[in-house]
Amino acid sequence: MPDGATAEQQNRGGAQQDAGTPADQINQEIAATKVTGWVSALLGADWKTSAGGGGSGGKFMFASLPELDAVIGAWRQEITSIMGDRDQILSTADVVNQPAGDPMSLMQADAARESLRVMWKHSVEMLKYAETFLANLEKARAQMQTTEDAAHTSMRRVYPT
């Protein structure tokens, strides 16, 4: 069964929908989360997305440690990107001034500051999510490494060199 396919998808007689690699699935989820955040900020709504896995029960499946390591690396890069975005939000907020003394200019500056405040709040939530997800990936990697090590030890007992 290919990565990302559930048993149910496999049993549809060739009607399997390819979910892509786990890295593709994660990249799609990151993109969807970003777009949802932008739309939420623009419309003032608090929309939530739910991530799909590809494995049974909505879980991601990784075929190898190197594949999982690549996904972990991508999430570390995403965290770095989120932190960079936060720095830009702060530096932009520092330079927002009303361009003139009239009420409309004041309202425009206030709207820009509010937009930046919402962006900051969203970046805080994105960072929390990404850090939690990365911690879970690293925990899964440790468990996968333990399983691999046990399997290798078992095989060495069965087939000593």
- Reported as a single tens digit per residue, the pLDDT across 91-115 is 898 899 988 999 999 999 999 999 9
Please tell me the distance from the alpha carbon of residue 112 to that of residue 109, in angstroms, as a whole number.
5
What pLDDT score does 1 carry? 43
Asked whether residue 150 is assigned to any structural domain, the reply reads yes
The count of domains in the chain is 1
Q: 83 and 127 in contact (C-beta within 8 Å)?
A: yes
**Average pLDDT over all residues of the chain:** 79
- Reported as a single tens digit per residue, the pLDDT across 45-85 is 555 555 444 555 556 677 788 899 999 999 999 999 999 99
Confidence of residue 32 (pLDDT cuts 50, 70, 90): confident
Asked whether residue 7 is assigned to any structural domain, the reply reads no
Asked whether residue 132 is assigned to any structural domain, the reply reads yes
Asked whether residue 120 is assigned to any structural domain, the reply reads yes
Task: Please provide the distance, in angstroms rounded to a whole number, between the alpha carbons at the two ends of the chain.
Answer: 32
Full residue range of the structural domain in which residue 32 is found: 20-158
- Reported as a single tens digit per residue, the pLDDT across 129-141 is 999 999 999 999 9
- 124-132: average pLDDT: 95
Short-list 42, 23, 64, CA closest to 151: 64
- 15-20: average pLDDT: 62
What pLDDT score does 42 carry? 61
